[in-house]
Structure 1
């Protein structure tokens, strides 16, 4: 949050005016693909429309890169998966940048982590990805998907090293290019996270077709040991063409994180605006209707920002 010296002096002189009342800029790390840019843009719109003197904008970039920007004071809020927040806060993420100021503002909605192989690859399970010279999407170490993919492979008894030892290739193209790479034959296996059906996966479903690579109960349990806070989710039969049975996959929670450095009263206002207008998110994409006050303190793996905590307490919203 930035505040001009003149504005700060004016606010102090006025006494009643909050410190953030004049030309305050709030920056939201909203990712580069999938649902995050949509959610980030809506959050910015709601803040701009409802909090006078505050100007919210979105910042595109990978999730861990946005955490690093928060550590530097260049991002005030960001979208992430709740399992990742404490890892990065401790400095144990791929970038090694501690973000101790990361605080929970609200849980938004869940996502199904959906591994998939192209229909013609012959792969029917994640355990088979090291059985041949397959091309597998591995994201990059700064991507939020990297720990999710590593956990999925480990739960299935394999790894990037095993894939490469079998003659396979780990691709690190961007998430937004993954579906296209599966369509044109550059990838045999990809990983997607979102609602079901998911728009990016539906592209591949149309051509060349997909096989969802579900996890067993034991594999889900192993996944949750590696990434605490993840649970089992279901992609119902018939969600994608040729899917004849329910498929079990990891279910993760999306979280809005706020910097501890952001003014308490401003965070209170932001929380109130987002809670009061939570139905504005509904219909933006499949799964967005999950956003509701009842889940906003669910899976909070770091401390709740005092401004948000004060609003939730006053509104009678508690963790379930």
Structure 2
């Protein structure tokens, strides 16, 4: 198990709520250390450190995935913060899919804090391929990767749109997508992650690519959330990219006290603009993503949203 130990944020004003010598410890469990989501956890903790006098100490902990993060709620205490798509929280609370037969009362105590960058689908095609729509994938060689959300989702989309038997799937690791495109081994690749995606940035800058958009009808058929990547995000991208996403949020449980949840949420939002100066993926997070949190929000976080004038639904309260 790998850990990244950092001191996290409580903003000025927290001294009124906590004794001068008090320290609250928080564990932030995100993803594998090589992933962008682990980097995000480190960045959150660093931003909090800069704003704090050390009242809240955050440990960023490696995870094997979102399902594991949810499952660990059963054994964790008041210090536990984790990231996962809201849909997995709903499945856990309903005892469905991968949580069937594994239900636990602890799942009903999960509460959201704030949204983080969404997992965003990218169908990335070389300019030489001439592909500008999903239909143009027919006859092309595509890299899906293995075992990732993007690979599973990409395979699903090929089936939905009648392309499963019309596309050649390359036996190449996703980490080799850019060189494989450069040498003509593949016509394109599918990847999912926060945007701007580093491998898409590299491909766009080095070989020239077209990131495909989807129609509203296609997006509806996938059952995923619509997301627009603004024009200019990638080199040579003159128009918005309309694609799908899987929302992701940071969660804790009712075991966390209201003041800690309030300070974490407040610090996150008030540090986000500065985070975006160093990592553009934070610029894709705004108040509009709040509607993707389908379950309840922690009362301490609700307090911040009400102070900030962010509208919440009855279900979120």
Would the aligned equivalents of 1:192 and 1:201 in 2 still touch at CA under 8 Å? no
**TM-aligned CA distance change 1:33 to 1:100, over 3 Å:** farther
Residues 27-63 of structure 1, C-alpha deviation per residue, up to 9 Å, x if partnerless?
3314545642332112222444527453212223333
Return the match for 1:86 from 79, 85, 90. 90
Residues 224-280 of structure 1, C-alpha deviation per residue, up to 9 Å, x if partnerless?
xx23xx124255379433x56554322554422223433333212212322343333
Corresponding residue SS for 1:317: coil
Question: Which piece of structure 1 moves more, 66-75 or 210-219?
Answer: 66-75
- For residues 248 and 319 of structure 1, the distance between their equivalents in structure 2, rounded to whole angstroms, comes to 26
Corresponding residue SS for 1:236: coil
Residues 126-164 of structure 1, C-alpha deviation per residue, up to 9 Å, x if partnerless?
3454x4473431541xx4435643553355334xxx34x
**How big is the shift at 1:212?**
2.1
- For residues 277 and 128 of structure 2, the distance between their equivalents in structure 1, rounded to whole angstroms, comes to 34
Return the match for 1:310 from 283, 303, 310. 303
| Unaligned segments of structure 2, at least 5 residues | 1-16
**How big is the shift at 1:92?**
4.4
Would the aligned equivalents of 2:126 and 2:207 in 1 still touch at CA under 8 Å? yes
Would the aligned equivalents of 1:82 and 1:253 in 2 still touch at CA under 8 Å? yes
| TM-score relative to the length of structure 1 | 0.69
Name the structure 2 match of 1:266: 260
RMSD: 4.0
- For residues 177 and 105 of structure 1, the distance between their equivalents in structure 2, rounded to whole angstroms, comes to 36
Residues 62-120 of structure 1, C-alpha deviation per residue, up to 9 Å, x if partnerless?
33343334454288223344455434554546576665443211124556532113445
| TM-score relative to the length of structure 2 | 0.69
- For residues 80 and 136 of structure 1, the distance between their equivalents in structure 2, rounded to whole angstroms, comes to 26
Name the structure 2 match of 1:115: 123
| Unaligned segments of structure 1, at least 5 residues | 1-15
- For residues 280 and 204 of structure 2, the distance between their equivalents in structure 1, rounded to whole angstroms, comes to 17
Name the structure 2 match of 1:157: 162
- For residues 238 and 305 of structure 1, the distance between their equivalents in structure 2, rounded to whole angstroms, comes to 33
**How big is the shift at 1:199?**
3.0
**Residue-pair matches, total:** 288
Name the structure 2 match of 1:203: 202
Return the match for 1:236 from 209, 231, 241. 231
**How big is the shift at 1:172?**
8.5
- For residues 262 and 73 of structure 1, the distance between their equivalents in structure 2, rounded to whole angstroms, comes to 11
Mapping for residues 181-196 of structure 1, pairs under 5 Å: 182-183=181-182, 187=186, 188-196=188-196
